[in-house]
Amino acid sequence: MGVLQLLKSQFLCHLMICYVFLVSGLIINLLQLCTLPLWLVSKQLARRINIRLAYCVSSQMVAALEWWSGTECTLYTDPKSYPLYGKENAIVVLNHSFEIDFLCGWTFCDRFGVLGSSKALAKKELAYVPIIGWMWYFLEIVFCKRKWEEDRRTVAQSLQNLRDYPENYWFLLYCEGTRFTPKKHQVSMQVAESKGLPKLKYHLLPRTKGFWVTVQNLRGTAAAVYDSTLNFRNNESPTLLGILNGKKYHADLYVRRIPLEMIPEDEAECAAWLHKLYQEKDSFQEHYTQTGCFPGPTVSPPRRPWSLINWLFWCCLLLYPLGLLLAQLFSSGSMLTILASVALCSAASLGVRWMIGQTEIDRSSNYGNKEVPLNKH
Ligand SMILES: CC/C=C\C/C=C\C/C=C\C/C=C\C/C=C\C/C=C\CCC(=O)SCCNC(=O)CCNC(=O)[C@H](O)C(C)(C)COP(=O)(O)OP(=O)(O)OC[C@H]1O[C@@H](n2cnc3c(N)ncnc32)[C@H](O)[C@@H]1OP(=O)(O)O
Ligand SMILES: CCCCCCCCCCCCCCCCCC(=O)OC[C@@H](O)COP(=O)(O)O
């Protein structure tokens, strides 16, 4: 193990990274709060400011992936579609099987210049995660309770609000609705069987209502659906803790651009279209398992320096005063102050550990775990 790699695995380094993320994130949340009165005067200006503020937070995680861990990302896509990426609004359909799939998504967003503005249909629980969840509120991320009766109206309304968004965005949909586990796969394949649908080997059965409502409400605003299938080389299952430890992964993303006009308007036809799409995605994953790559030409869109520059800026701004504070603390010799500071640091690192826990599949929700009575279908 080289010196740099040894350094990256040190707990002290992780503490400093988390400290910078936590303090800068809370400062950004506070600044976002200050933009509230501006919404009343100029909604579009408030949105543009929030896009840039959000970039300061999410790009830190992108920098950790790209520059700290050195993870590489290869894009498999049609060269004719490539120039359009980042130049139009799009709905992204991505498989939900990895703990850092959202982060790989963010990396591609950054490389095509839409990181600050990008959105998702996210479960409501994520809105309460400090920093990221609070930041999403100002970005107009669409939250759902995963209870269709309650979601149908609120989700449609939130999507309508995005129709006059001032900058290009990608709207991410994990149609499976939850992360892949063997148990959830088994349950969802029972549902597939009861609906007479072919079984999927690598995906859970997609939930179709969120996709339909998104396509319908963004018609005329989004130009295309980007069907995206992600996998990692060497059968790896990357984690956020792995990234913090500086572990390098290699992500492969296969993207097909499908013009929105090609998607049926009728709900049942749209659902059938999505099921067919997932059958195709399953065959791409099978191809990847057999050959170690996706079909078609590849390109590696270069990482941009902005995420690193932003990260270094926050490190300089926040680590210097921390150093001064620590020096003062120890020179004061007050045991009580030292103990209080240690307690505060421990609480903060537990908080960050809890946030990282939100990404861990072992702590995944029970959604999609329950056996569905077969006669329901
Ligand atoms: C060039 C580069 C291109 C791309 C780069 C890639 C990516 C970058 C893009 C953007 C990045 C931007 C941001 C990313 C950042 C962060 C993202 C982070 C978080 C988001 C993650 C989440 O929170 S995922 C969870 C929330 N989202 C969803 O759930 C979406 C999918 N769900 C739906 O659409 C649902 O329909 C619903 C949520 C709208 C409603 O849920 P409900 O449970 O009420 O669903 P349904 O009505 O659908 O359920 C009943 C129907 O489902 C059938 N059923 C029952 N059991 C199952 C089962 N186990 N599996 C499947 N289906 C089941 C049941 O039979 C009913 O069927 P019907 O026929 O009656 O519909
Ligand atoms: C600079 C680097 C700093 C790193 C340290 C700080 C880490 C803070 C991490 C906060 C991450 C919180 C955002 C998580 C987004 C996770 C998206 C996701 O994968 O959600 C799961 C849902 O889709 C489905 O949930 P389940 O039903 O599977 O349950």
* CB contact at 8 A, 192 and 211: no
Host domain of residue 130: 71-305
Two tokens, residue 88: 């139009």
Task: Specify the CATH number for the domain of residue 93.
Answer: 3.40.1130
Q: Among 195, 92, 183, which Cα is nearest to 367's?
A: 183
Is 83 inside a domain boundary?
yes
Q: Is residue 130 part of a domain?
A: yes
> Distance (Å, rounded) from C-alpha 50 to C-alpha 54?
6
Judged by its nearest atom, the ligand closest to the C-alpha of residue 104 is: 1
How large is the ipTM? 0.96
Average pLDDT over residues 314-328: 91
- Tell me the pLDDT tens digit for each residue of 235-264: 999 999 999 999 999 999 999 999 999 999
Is pLDDT at 375 greater than 60 in this prediction?
Answer: no
Say if 317 falls within a structural domain.
no
Query: Which atom of ligand 2 is nearest the CA belonging to 101?
Result: 19
Q: Cα(188) to centroid of ligand 1, in Å?
A: 13
Give the model's pLDDT for residue 334. 83
The DSSP symbol for 166 reads S
Tell me which amino acid residue 355 is: M
Which residue in 150, 277, 256 sits closest to 211, CA to CA?
277
Asked if residue 334 belongs to a domain, the reply is no
Answer yes or no: is 46 within a domain: no
Q: What is the pTM of this model?
A: 0.95
- Ligand 2 atom 2 nearest Cα: 61
Predicted confidence band at 373 (pLDDT cuts at 50, 70, 90)?
A: low
Mutate which of 209, 253, 255, 369 to test ligand 1's pocket (most atoms within 8 Å of Cβ)?
209
Q: Is residue 315 part of a domain?
A: no
277 located within any domain: yes
pLDDT tens, 44-69? 999 999 999 999 999 999 999 999 99
Residue type, 325: L
- C-alpha dist (Å) from residue 154 to 50, 160, 217, 373: 22, 10, 12, 28
Number of domains forming the structure of the chain: 1
Q: How far is the CA of 208 from the centre of ligand 1 (A)?
A: 7
Q: Whose CA is nearest to atom 13 of ligand 2?
A: 132
Q: pLDDT-derived band of residue 329, with 50, 70 and 90 as boundaries?
A: confident
Q: What is the pLDDT of residues 267-280, one digit of tens each?
A: 999 999 999 999 99
Q: Does residue 41 belong to any structural domain of this protein?
A: no
